[in-house]
Chain A
Amino acid sequence: MSDYNFAYLDEQTKRMIRRAILKGVAIPGYQVPFASREMPMPYGWGTGGVQVTAACLTPDDQLKVIDQGADDTTNAVSIRKFFEKTAEVATTEHTSEATVIQTRHRIPEEPLGEDQILVYQVPIPEPLRFLEPRETETRKMHSLEEYGLMHVKLYEDIARHGHIATAYAYPVRVEGRYVMDPSPIPKFDNPKMEMAAIQLFGAGREQRIYAIPPYTQVVSLDFEDHPFEASKADHPCALCGAEDSYLDEVIVDDAGGRMFVCSDTDYCAGRRAGQAA
């Protein structure tokens, strides 16, 4: 598609995004404002992730796109097609083969390596947003490291429900400094965030980019007497039998019968292929 530049965005814009990424890598967990562009897909569909991916892609990359852990969900298909068309990069569904993985709401089950980039789509980058709606205030709270409000919220959850009532987008503290929203991944995925790959987060509508460099400390917020617990449905996958993967619950009949299957389709398919062999 010659009407547009490689990976859709013009080089000036990519440069601006790369500068924001570099700043984000230099200050792990800090939300860097960037002049997000209008993309040809709606805000909320991953425009931030798409811009970050566009700024990272080179013609030799192998791109994988997942939504809810799966390669074949409609929006993952749509974004993969977008880059096939505008960047003509090779795409893959295999986690291990990908050099760039754009994701919405999951971290792949298979551990990532140093030569991989994981790009998250982020709806609301501000972990304090639902405690304080004003950006002017939350930026101040971050600069003063004023995170008491967040701990009070978690404490109130425990007082009321007996547990911290956050199941996804569970807040983390990065390298002992910034409290960060991990995007709406299930808290099951939180411990995986200390990884070898570089993690980049793009929020298009909110005009923010942030990053976690490889091997950075990422701690899920908790209390000594209520330690963080990565939870998942207490079943094995009905297709591949995995007991260590995050599961989707699927309703299979009118009587409300259900089954649990891996949300990471590549992981599940790989295990089943291994079993068949």
Chain B
Amino acid sequence: MYVAVKGGERAIDNAHQWLAEERRGDTGVAELSLDQIRQQLGLAVCRVMAEGSLYDPDLAALAIKQARGDLIEAIFLIRAYRTTLPRIGHSEPVETSAMRCDRRISATFKDLPGGQVLGPTFDYTHRLLDFALAAESEGLAEVAQAAPDPAPKPRVTDFLDRDGLIQPEMPSDATPPDMTREPMEYPAERPLRLQALTRGDEGFVLGMAYSTQRGYGRNHPFVGEMRVGTVPVEMEIPELGFAIEIGEVQLTECETVNQFTGSKTEPAQFTRGYGLVFGHSERKAISMALVDRALRWEELGEDRTGAPAQDEEFVLSHADNIQATGFLEHIKLPHYVDFQSELELIRKLRADALAATQKEAAE
């Protein structure tokens, strides 16, 4: 006998309870604290802040804990929270030239003013599992530390710009659009594209960037400079009439120097791609710069080769992992009404086709 799918409510409650238990795991093992996540899973926190579009390491750590380490789920929690926050105002543009850099490297010049600063990087580690970490009694060796150099470091692209070797970026005081408050419209201007890319899925942006390196919209990038560090955030308070510092954020910025444009009459110039991401996220910043550059084909007078990374609507419509994962996973929701209508249709089509063959055989 048919039993209707009743009790959805109780099933949901029970599922949530089970989920909470699974999240906690064995209660014989100490519970993870937000401090531990923030301190020891710092790069996960950075990713959640960047793609969640909310700079708050504590909330990001909470989201990671609640999401059982599923970073896209954590990003979703942050986005859903962010959307409820009132918009008090906006900050002044941050000045990344004034960044206090923990890391600053250039792949285009061996040495340069401000120097190459490696900072905390995986780049030259050997990827050998460190079994000593498994023992959880880590003592850090004392390493001689140079005093941090708070002096601002000049930009590599500014040197090129001074000599006219790189396409200049025109300053603008126009208020950039806000993709979280206005529906997306195409064609999108560069500020909107950069907004979408910086909160876009790291894997997707990486894949798009990689495709340009493999020839689908190649743009010959050099990492002119990548810097990681903190910048002060200032906001103008209307009652005061001037800007005051309200805090600081960690950022990763990447400027690429790309293939040049030019003609017989226009002298050749390098072009630029730009990536800027919350937190420490080098992979994302470089990827963003490559995709930004690929999307600038029209503005820079290049041919459209049909490469996916040149296609603004394609890239921007599919970069958001919260949209993507929602729509992808929704196909596990009930669809039996649509499926039923397909079933009837396919039976009808099959019946018609069978009848036709039988009739043919009889003749």
Interchain nearest-CB distance for A234 vs B (Å):
8
Residues from chain B with Cβ under 8 Å of A90 in the complex? none
Interchain nearest-CB distance for B239 vs A (Å):
22
Residues from chain A with Cβ under 8 Å of B317 in the complex? 135
Which residues, 204 to 233 on A, are CB-close (under 8 Å) to B? 205, 207, 231-233
Give A126 to B80 CA distance when docked, in angstroms: 26
Q: Which residue of B lies closest to A42 (CB)?
A: B326
Question: Is the contact region of chain A dominated by helix, strand, or loop, or is it mixed?
Answer: loop
Give A1 to B114 CA distance when docked, in angstroms: 54
Contact A105 B183 (CB under 8 A): no
Determine if B247 is an interface residue (Cβ-Cβ < 8 Å): no
Interchain nearest-CB distance for A210 vs B (Å):
13
Contact B345 A163 (CB under 8 A): yes
Interchain nearest-CB distance for B352 vs A (Å):
5
> Which of the residues B6, B8, B313 comes within 8 Å of A136, measured between beta carbons?
B313
Residues from chain A with Cβ under 8 Å of B348 in the complex? 163, 231
Contact A233 B322 (CB under 8 A): no
Determine if B242 is an interface residue (Cβ-Cβ < 8 Å): no
Contact A74 B341 (CB under 8 A): no
Give A50 to B338 CA distance when docked, in angstroms: 21
Contact B342 A167 (CB under 8 A): yes
Determine if A102 is an interface residue (Cβ-Cβ < 8 Å): no
Contact B329 A168 (CB under 8 A): no
Determine if B29 is an interface residue (Cβ-Cβ < 8 Å): no
Residues from chain B with Cβ under 8 Å of A73 in the complex? 5, 8, 334
Binary interface encoding of chain B residues 153-184 relative to chain A, with 1 for a CB under 8 A from any of its CBs, else 0: 00000000000000000000000000011111
Determine if B76 is an interface residue (Cβ-Cβ < 8 Å): yes
Which residues, 18 to 76 on A, are CB-close (under 8 Å) to B? 33-40, 42-45, 47, 67-70, 72-76
Interchain nearest-CB distance for B304 vs A (Å):
13
Contact B185 A33 (CB under 8 A): yes
Residues from chain B with Cβ under 8 Å of A172 in the complex? none
Residues from chain A with Cβ under 8 Å of B326 in the complex? 42-45, 47, 205
Determine if B2 is an interface residue (Cβ-Cβ < 8 Å): yes
> Which of the residues B185, B334, B345 comes within 8 Å of A67, measured between beta carbons?
B334
Contact B345 A77 (CB under 8 A): no
Contact B330 A246 (CB under 8 A): no
Q: Which residue of B lies closest to A258 (CB)?
A: B2
Contact B334 A69 (CB under 8 A): no
Give A47 to B3 CA distance when docked, in angstroms: 30
Interchain nearest-CB distance for B146 vs A (Å):
44
Determine if A4 is an interface residue (Cβ-Cβ < 8 Å): yes
Give A134 to B316 CA distance when docked, in angstroms: 12
Contact A168 B342 (CB under 8 A): yes
Residues from chain B with Cβ under 8 Å of A184 in the complex? 335, 337-338
Q: Which residue of A lies closest to B77 (CB)?
A: A40
Give A70 to B84 CA distance when docked, in angstroms: 31
Binary interface encoding of chain B residues 1-22 relative to chain A, with 1 for a CB under 8 A from any of its CBs, else 0: 1101111110110000000000
Q: Which of A111-119, A191-199, A247-255 contacts B (4 or more CB under 8 A)?
A: A247-255
Give A233 to B347 CA distance when docked, in angstroms: 10
Give A72 to B12 CA distance when docked, in angstroms: 11
Q: Which residue of A lies closest to B324 (CB)?
A: A43
Determine if B333 is an interface residue (Cβ-Cβ < 8 Å): yes
Contact A105 B80 (CB under 8 A): no
Give A78 to B333 CA distance when docked, in angstroms: 12
Interchain nearest-CB distance for A58 vs B (Å):
21
Residues from chain B with Cβ under 8 Å of A188 in the complex? 341
Residues from chain A with Cβ under 8 Å of B335 in the complex? 68, 105, 184
Interchain nearest-CB distance for A20 vs B (Å):
9
Which residues, 230 to 273 on B, are CB-close (under 8 Å) to A? none
Q: Which residue of A lies closest to B333 (CB)?
A: A75
Give A163 to B183 CA distance when docked, in angstroms: 38
Contact B337 A168 (CB under 8 A): yes
Given A68-B337, A165-B349, A233-B344, do A39 and B8 touch, yes or no (CB 8 Å)?
Answer: no
Contact A35 B183 (CB under 8 A): yes
Most buried by A among B8, B337, B348, B352: B337
Given A4-B84, A135-B313, do A77 and B327 touch, yes or no (CB 8 Å)?
Answer: no
Contact A248 B340 (CB under 8 A): yes
Contact A207 B76 (CB under 8 A): no
Given A74-B8, A167-B342, do A69 and B337 touch, yes or no (CB 8 Å)?
Answer: yes
Determine if B79 is an interface residue (Cβ-Cβ < 8 Å): yes
Given A42-B326, A73-B5, A205-B327, do A231 and B334 touch, yes or no (CB 8 Å)?
Answer: no
Residues from chain B with Cβ under 8 Å of A75 in the complex? 333-334
Q: Give 8 closest A-B pairs by Cβ, nearest first.
A: A44-B330, A43-B326, A167-B341, A42-B326, A33-B183, A186-B341, A167-B345, A168-B338
Can you name 8 A-B pairs with beta carbons within 8 Å?
A44-B333, A69-B337, A72-B9, A75-B333, A105-B337, A168-B337, A207-B183, A231-B348
A interface with B by C-beta (< 8 Å): 4, 8, 10, 33-40, 42-45, 47, 67-70, 72-78, 81, 105-106, 123, 134-136, 161-163, 165, 167-169, 184-188, 205, 207, 231-233, 238-239, 246-250, 252, 259, 261, 263, 265
Given contacts A44-B330, A231-B345, A261-B2, 7 further A-B contacts (CB under 8 A): A43-B327, A44-B328, A67-B333, A163-B345, A184-B337, A231-B348, A261-B4
